[in-house]
Structure 1
Amino acid sequence: MELTRDATQMRIPAKHIGVSDAMKETLAQEEGVRLTVYRDVAGYPTVGVGHLVCPEDRLKVGDTISFERALRLLENDLRQAERAVRRLVGDLMLYQHEFDALADLVYNVGEGNVSENESPMLNRAIARGEYRDIARELHYYHAAGAKAKGLVYRSKRREAIFMDAKYEDPRPAGIGVTRLSDA
């Protein structure tokens, strides 16, 4: 009989973990759910739940998409983020919430920004299995060369998710909360 692996109860290999529903809701809160293509704080065309528009999307600023397409884009982006986290952590054992926080990081900043060259301290902490140090390296505050207040909150939330499985929004009440079920 095979022992059930439950990443909410014990650390398991990242290859057996995917982004949780709680993290999907958190992403919707952080990114918002926007059905019209807009430019994000860095100036990139974006739609859905923080999906960076690419040529194969055949979209331009001002175009609209359906909610169903936004969900499909989210699921595709999450699959890419999950694969990137697995490459990043290798054999490191993770809890579900640790995986979720790392997936949020990759989703937010892109896999290239967590590479050894761009994030050597993060990679060093992962290689050593130093979980507290990994949490400290989850802070990314800048977009287009400027500090963004929203990214400060997001980084605090990401660290709380990683360390304590706390998915709650750290912003003062009433500031920018969106749920997938509300969109």
Structure 2
Amino acid sequence: MRGQMVREFVMKMRTRRKARQHGTPRRRMRRRKAALAMSAAVMGLSTGAQVMPADQRQHLTLAAPDASTTRVNARHIRASETLKEALAEEEGVRLTVYRDAAGYPTVGVGHLVQPEDRLSVGDRISYDRALDFLEQDLATAEAAVRRLVGALPLFQHEFDALVDLVYNVGEGNVAPDQSPQLNDAIGSGDYDRIAEELHYSHAAGRYARGLRFRSERRQSIFMDAAYDDPRAVELGPDGRAAV
């Protein structure tokens, strides 16, 4: 279930995504010209590769493999749009800066306010700025997951689950000294054990029911690519899924 703010945020997210996909007429024309140029290059490679210098051929790159059908290196994967919507459900959406349980100023989709944000508790932001914060924080989490897994190949949904984990608990909490079993499972390439280690239910040394539910959802994403919220709960005005 989604609260009103989460629904509106997701609609903004989808609108922005469509705008980026289609772009302006000028951008579409540039993309079309680039595609035609690439097609010509490929045709030239297939018909006259014998005359193309080797230093030019090596710059022709193939499309990245599809992580939805095969495990690939994490450097080829980014968080899916489905995960972004799930994150909005789990974290909730707040447009007014508030203090989280630990006392840190927070806004948007669980974004910890930084000095460069120039925001104080009580300040209000737009949905667009909340989206910008989400994209920034996701880029940070994606980079952390790539450092965490190294060369271990992943499916899209496995990458998403690990991004959710880092977004939720922070990179420091998945470091070898904090999560040795998770790191050992990754080092062993044991995907079943990785799934088992995605369950976090305590915050600041205390059991948190909401973290348990989120962990179960995260494990379902990792194992079965099942992103739907399994809970049927009454949501608050900010759209938080945890109870």
Of residues 88-97 and 37-46 in structure 1, the stretch that sits farther from structure 2 once superposed is: 37-46
- Listed as ranges, the matches of 1:6-85 within 5 Å are 6-85=66-145
CA distance in 2, matches of 1:152, 1:42: 19
Question: Whose helix proportion is higher, 1 or 2?
Answer: 2
CA distance in 2, matches of 1:78, 1:141: 22
Which runs of structure 1 show a deviation greater than 3 angstroms over 4 or more consecutive aligned residues?
1-4, 173-179
Does residue 5 (structure 1) correspond to residue 65 (structure 2)? The answer is yes
Q: Deviations over 1:110-165 (max 9, x none)?
A: 10110001100000000000001001111111223321111111000000000000
- How far has the Cα of 1:41 moved from its partner? 2.8
The residue type equivalent to 2:231 in the other structure is R
Q: Deviations over 1:2-58 (max 9, x none)?
A: 465110111000000000000000000000111011122333221001101122222
The residue type equivalent to 1:90 in the other structure is G
Gaps of 5+ in 1: none
The residue number in structure 1 matching 2:150 is: 90
CA distance in 2, matches of 1:162, 1:96: 9
CA RMSD in angstroms, aligned pairs only: 1.8
TM score, norm. by length of structure 1: 0.92
- Listed as ranges, the matches of 1:136-175 within 5 Å are 136-175=196-235
Gaps of 5+ in 2: 1-41, 43-61
The residue number in structure 2 matching 1:123 is: 183
The residue type equivalent to 1:21 in the other structure is E
CA distance in 1, matches of 2:168, 2:107: 14
Q: Deviations over 1:93-118 (max 9, x none)?
A: 00000000000000011101100011
Question: Whose strand proportion is higher, 1 or 2?
Answer: 1
Specify whether residues 4 and 112 from structure 1 end up closer, same or farther in structure 2 by C-alpha distance, changes over 3 A only.
closer
- How far has the Cα of 1:173 moved from its partner? 4.2
Determine if contact 1:13/1:94 at 8 Å carries over to the other structure.
yes
